[in-house]
Amino acid sequence: MEREADVDALIAEGAAAPVDGWAFDWLAGRATEERPPWGYARRVAARMAGIGAALDVDTGGGEVLAEVPRRPPLLVATEGWPPNVAVAARVLRRIGGHVVAVTPGAPLPFRDAAFDLVVSRHPVRTDWAETARVLRPGGTFLSQQIGPGTVRELSEAILGPLPPPTGRHPERAVADAEAAGLRVVDLREATLRTVFHDVAAVVWFLRKVVWTVPGFTVERHRPALVRLHHRIRAEGPFVAHARRFLVEAIRPAG
């Protein structure tokens, strides 16, 4: 029989590993997730070439901006989680950008029509009116967003059966964008296979992707984690499905 200490060690490992920034390198060999087919980082890089000013909302640790080969003269990012602000500041400083610490839900601290391009990967919440306000006429908003019921299988493994998801629907995003005066020019959706090979990966993921199990703590959810550990040992890797959508909108020029 497997020792209880083995379970405790894995849970403790996932609980101790740092989760700053928005990179997922710690999961290498422990979990995998398919990538969306549209290549978000490549699209961001293509749209930044030749423009004057760009903003990355909810930048995490600045990982997407760090991959852009031709950056605009003005490159700014916002971040609302203090540990990520410090990470993003170091990354953006190296590439000539700036990060602004913001309060989640507050208006964007920029003047009207300040940016040719606004981007955002996995925003906590898109403020469509503020996005439209800071875009210049003819400017573009490009965002990869979390879809409804993402990794629902993992949420239910920890919390039990859940009601159907009510938020993060792509159709709602389109309606909100258009209500703010933007014109949606592209909308794409993807369902991505996500595989967890041990419970340490699950713990780390739940600490980082906090909306999967709101209020997650190892202490509160330990019984469910232990059950999931034994399930993985008996049945093999735990499989869930992440949902993403890409939305691109422009602020009409006239």
Quick: pLDDT tens for 209-218. Answer: 999 999 999 9
- This prediction's pTM: 0.92
For residues 30 and 20, give the distance between their C-alpha atoms in angstroms, rounded to a whole number.
18
For residues 47 and 116, give the distance between their C-alpha atoms in angstroms, rounded to a whole number.
10
pLDDT at 158: 98
pLDDT at 3: 59
Quick: pLDDT tens for 128-143. Answer: 999 999 999 999 999 9
* 3-state SS, residue 99: strand
**Region 171-195 average pLDDT:** 98
Which residues have C-beta within 8 Å of that of residue 198, sequence separation ≥ 6?
Answer: 10, 30, 229, 232
Which residues have C-beta within 8 Å of that of residue 212, sequence separation ≥ 6?
Answer: 150, 151, 154, 155, 205, 206
pLDDT at 1: 42
**Region 241-246 average pLDDT:** 98
Quick: pLDDT tens for 74-107. Answer: 999 999 989 899 999 999 999 999 999 999 899 9
Task: Indicate the average pLDDT of the chain.
Answer: 96
